[in-house]
Structures are given as C-alpha cells and as structure tokens.
Amino acid sequence: MIPIKDVNPSRSAPIVNITIIAICVVVWLYEWRLMDSVVLTLRGAVSAFEIFIRNFGLVPVELFDKPYTLITHMFLHGGWLHIIGNMWFLWIFGDNVEDKLGRARYLAFYVLCGLGAAFTQTFMSLIFGGGNVPMVGASGAVSGVLGAYLRMFPHARVLALIPIFIFFTFMELPAAIFIGFWFLIQVVNGIISLPLMGMGGVAWYAHIGGFLVGYLLVDKFRKEKDIYY
C-alpha cells in the first residue's frame, strides 16, 4: 500500500518536518555525487560513497568507537527509492505529529525514536548477525512518527494506492488500518529475515523498535492533553 495523502489538516506550518526532509535530501544528493568517485586505499580502489557510509552509517560492532553515528545514520540513505519512500511517509504523517507536539518537542521526539530504532536493530544484529553491516536511513525515526500518528489519530483517513491482484485502486482507510497493516508487514518480514540478517538488507527491527518507541512515548511529548480522534 502506498499512501497518497491523509485527510487530516494541521493547524501550523511543519517547519521542523520540512527541515528534516531538506537535510536528508541535501545529504543524499551529496552521497549520490560520491558514487562516481573512487578513493585509493590499502584495500585498493574503493568507492567514496562506500567510505562515507562506513564512516557515518551505524555499524553495530563499531558503535562505541563512533557514537556520533547514532545521529548521523538517520540522515543518510542508500538509494533513490530508500530516500523517496522515507521522505514521502514523513511528509504525509509528520506534519500532524509536529502540530500536536510543538516544534521543539517534535524534534526531540523524532531523534529519540531514531535512537530507539538504532538500539533495537543494533541489539538484533549483534545477536543474530550483521554486526559489521552499516545501517543508514531515517526509517526508524519515521516509524516512530507513524507510531505517534496511530496513537493520536487512529480514525484519520488515509488515501492509499492499494494493489488488488494485478490492478491498483485508490481507497480511503482509517489510519489504524493503514498503519496497523504496515506494522504487521514489518513484524512478519522481521521474523522471516532473522536467518539472513548477516547479509544486510532492510533494517526491519529498526522499523519495529522506532514504531514502538513512538507509540509508547508520544503521550509524554504532547503539548495539549486533548482527546484522541
């Protein structure tokens, strides 16, 4: 399912949300330019992109040597589909969460969700394999935003593009169904991928961890204690 928009107007301009998106896009464009560059090392010719990801992506076994990667990895991405997907979800769901939390609280909340996601994926990688694989992407923090959105706006409508056999159709769904189904997919894929974690791929447990942190933590950050709708 691909979200097109949510029918849930916000009351204020999502300055922080837009800034996060802008930073991620600028960093990605820089990464993209590095793909055509090669650096000579003791291992031979290595892509400058690979070196950049290794230095600023979160590598579980190197976390104590590079603690800054807990933050920097959230603003890196591995490909066009990766960043477009993350930023699209953040654009659709982040404005309403920022509206409810306030700008400063939203930024702190976003970072904490990203940290929760990072620690969850790091733990799973160290236990099941993949401790040497760099993790990059805003997915964990964005998953936390989805968790917060589900908590605060379960009945908001989400217009989505849904596959039905070989056709696609547009359908409005309650956020509880759309996001709930999205989370179910993360859990199922996380379980299926356990034996393959050492090979890299999608950081499913970052999605799961970030989502749970967002869902459980958002009440502590809300500036208004109004009822959910």
Residue 229 has pLDDT above 60, yes or no: no
CATH superfamily of 2-221: Rhomboid-like (1.20.1540.10)
Residue 37 has pLDDT above 90, yes or no: no
Mean pLDDT over each residue of the chain, to the nearest integer: 92
How many alpha carbons fall within 13 Å on the CB side of residue 10?
A: 22
pLDDT in tens, 131-140: 899 999 999 9
Average pLDDT over residues 100-107: 95
**4 close to 170: Cβ distance less than 8 angstroms:** yes
pLDDT confidence bin for 42, thresholds 50/70/90: low
Predicted confidence at residue 36, as pLDDT, reads 84
What percent of the chain clears pLDDT 70, i.e. is strictly above it? 95
Average pLDDT over residues 98-110: 96
Among 100, 112, 128, which Cα is nearest to 225's? 100
Among 51-60, 82-91, 159-168, 187-196, the range scoring the smallest mean pLDDT is 159-168
Predicted confidence at residue 163, as pLDDT, reads 83
